Amino acid sequence: MGCTRSSMPAVLPVPGEGTLRRIDYLRISVTDRCNLKCVYCMPAAGVNCMEKHEVLSTTEIVRFVQIAYRYGLRKVRITGGEPLVRGDILSLIRALKQDVGIRDLSITTNGLLLEGMAEQLKHAGLDRVNVSLDTMDPERYRNITRGGALDTVWRGIEAAVEAGLAPLKINMVPLRGINDDEVRDFARLTYERDFHIRFIEFMPTGGNAWRRTDCVTSGEVRAQVASLGRLTPLLFRGGGPSRNYRLSGARGVIGFISPVSDHFCGSCNRLRLSADGKLRPCLFSDQIIDVRPHLRRRSADRDLADLIEQAVRSKPAGHFIERLGTTAPSLVSLSQIGG
Ligand code: SAM
Ligand code: SF4
């Protein structure tokens, strides 16, 4: 295919640190549609969804990943919107695993459709799953997600464990006065189960009316968790932004992801591709590189590799949440970008 840079690893200098950073992780949003409307992600009225023809086809996504793979990409997370509502999700996973050879292939899902799909997802080549779950109270769950059924999610989690999609990670966004009293309950889960519980700070996006005071920082969450027992730091960071710990005597892992209080840009190893083919070097920057026209007119591999390199080189050293004030009007909802 004549891509001269195909074997070059995606590395770039991190300004101010004098080190090299390896960009080997791609998050792909495969749809902006969702079967929920979580209060921290979307406005009550929902968001304008893309037209079908705007969304990248499986063939287009696979070609992009093939080129990125030759450029150093090894890990892919599929997200959305809700990725499991995409009709051909199993074929996409099969192609990414079997045809491209992605080593670490995972998905982030709200879990509503997981029970019926876990086995097929595993069979298609999915390695791991992250389930977003912010409360263990059915009524709260209905309120936070604007209509979701908690027991369906739990059945999905058990089906994923049964299918061997491990380690199973649970993403929890603590919101002040809404579910932050459940932080310890989530942490306690790790005594019984080998789940990874990841507490994620509430971020400003165009889909929510973010106020700094609504965000429960990782420091606050950690203090709550530490009241249960000794927290031992774990050396592995899984190549991502999570700072990981284990409570003494626990089986599972507790992770803190702190995009607001402790921006981790210097170690950020990822690019994001939206469902309509916009490549984003950073979640909190308006900079986007539109790869869809190049995929649609079948530009040369080298041209696409150049766009990937441009995205890698544009990754910022830091972002600006603390400077954004109360809202971030230029940002769209995470369901549209791909969270
Ligand atoms: N629908 C799937 C789900 O909920 O898992 C995948 C897409 S969702 C946008 C991906 C992740 O982004 C979820 O774990 C969700 O909790 C998180 N998220 C969405 N909006 C957020 C926000 N404003 N701050 C922090 N995390 C957010
Ligand atoms: Fe909730 Fe995920 Fe849908 Fe956003 S995309 S509304 S976080 S389920």
**Is there a contact between 275 and 268 (Cβ–Cβ < 8 Å)?**
no
Q: Which residue has the tokens 């649609």?
A: 296
Q: In this structure, what token pair is assigned to residue 149?
A: 């059924």
Check if 106 has its Cβ closer than 6 Å to any atom of ligand 2.
Answer: no
CA of 156 to the centre of ligand 2 (A): 16
List, as one string, the DSSP characters of 21-79: EE--EEEEE--S--S---TTTS-TT--PPPPGGGSPPHHHHHHHHHHHHHTT--EEEEE
Length of the chain: 339
pLDDT at 335: 72
Cis preceding linkage at 233, omega within 30? no
CA of 117 to the centre of ligand 1 (A): 20
Higher pLDDT among residues 253 and 241, named by residue: 253
Higher pLDDT among residues 334 and 198, named by residue: 198
CA-nearest of 19, 46, 15 to 335 is 46
| Mean pLDDT, the chain, whole residue set | 88
- Which ligand has its closest atom nearest to the C-alpha of 44? 2
Identify residue 236 by its one-letter amino acid code.
F
Cα 18 to its chain centre, rounded Å, is 28
Q: Out of 41, 42, 172, 202, give the residue to mutate to test ligand 1, the one with the largest number of ligand atoms within 8 Å of its CB.
A: 41
- Closest Cα to atom 9, ligand 1: which residue? 339
Three-class secondary structure of residue 132 per DSSP: strand
**Is there a contact between 254 and 261 (Cβ–Cβ < 8 Å)?**
no
**Is there a contact between 251 and 191 (Cβ–Cβ < 8 Å)?**
yes
The H-or-E segment that residue 150 falls in is helix 150-163
Check if 134 has its Cβ closer than 6 Å to any atom of ligand 2.
Answer: no
Q: Out of 27, 39, 40, 41, give the residue to mutate to test ligand 2, the one with the largest number of ligand atoms within 8 Å of its CB.
A: 41
pLDDT over threshold 70, residue 14: no
Dist CA 254 CA 172 (whole Å): 11
pLDDT over threshold 70, residue 166: yes
- Closest Cα to atom 11, ligand 1: which residue? 339
What distance separates the 2 farthest-apart alpha carbons in the chain? 58
Residue pLDDT, tens place only, 263-310: 667 667 889 999 999 999 887 777 899 999 999 998 999 999 999 988
- Which ligand has its closest atom nearest to the C-alpha of 114? 1
CB neighbour list of residue 64: distance below 8 Å, 6 or more residues apart: 56, 273, 277, 291, 295, 304
In 10 A of CB 294, how many CB atoms?
19
**Is there a contact between 204 and 321 (Cβ–Cβ < 8 Å)?**
yes
What is the fold, at CATH topology level, of the domain defined by 5-337? Answer: TIM Barrel (3.20.20)
**Is there a contact between 245 and 187 (Cβ–Cβ < 8 Å)?**
no
CA of 149 to the centre of ligand 2 (A): 14
Q: What predicted TM-score, i.e. pTM, was given to this entire model?
A: 0.91
- Ramachandran region of residue 16, left (φ > 0), alpha (ψ -120 to 50) or beta? left
Check if 37 has its Cβ closer than 6 Å to any atom of ligand 2.
Answer: yes
Identify residue 235 by its one-letter amino acid code.
L
Dist CA 204 CA 58 (whole Å): 30
List, as one string, the DSSP characters of 175-244: BTTTTGGGHHHHHHHHHHS-PEEEEE-----TTS---GGGB--HHHHHHHHHTTS-EEEPS--TTSS-EE
Residue 204: pLDDT band with limits 50, 70, 90: confident
Check if 215 has its Cβ closer than 6 Å to any atom of ligand 2.
Answer: no
Residue 80's Cβ-count burial label (10 Å; 0-12, 13-18, 19+) is buried
Check if 39 has its Cβ closer than 6 Å to any atom of ligand 1.
Answer: no
- Which ligand has its closest atom nearest to the C-alpha of 28? 1
Residue pLDDT, tens place only, 87-144: 999 999 999 999 999 999 999 999 999 999 999 999 999 999 999 999 999 999 999 9
pLDDT over threshold 70, residue 21: no
Residue 54: pLDDT band with limits 50, 70, 90: very high
Dist CA 106 CA 140 (whole Å): 27
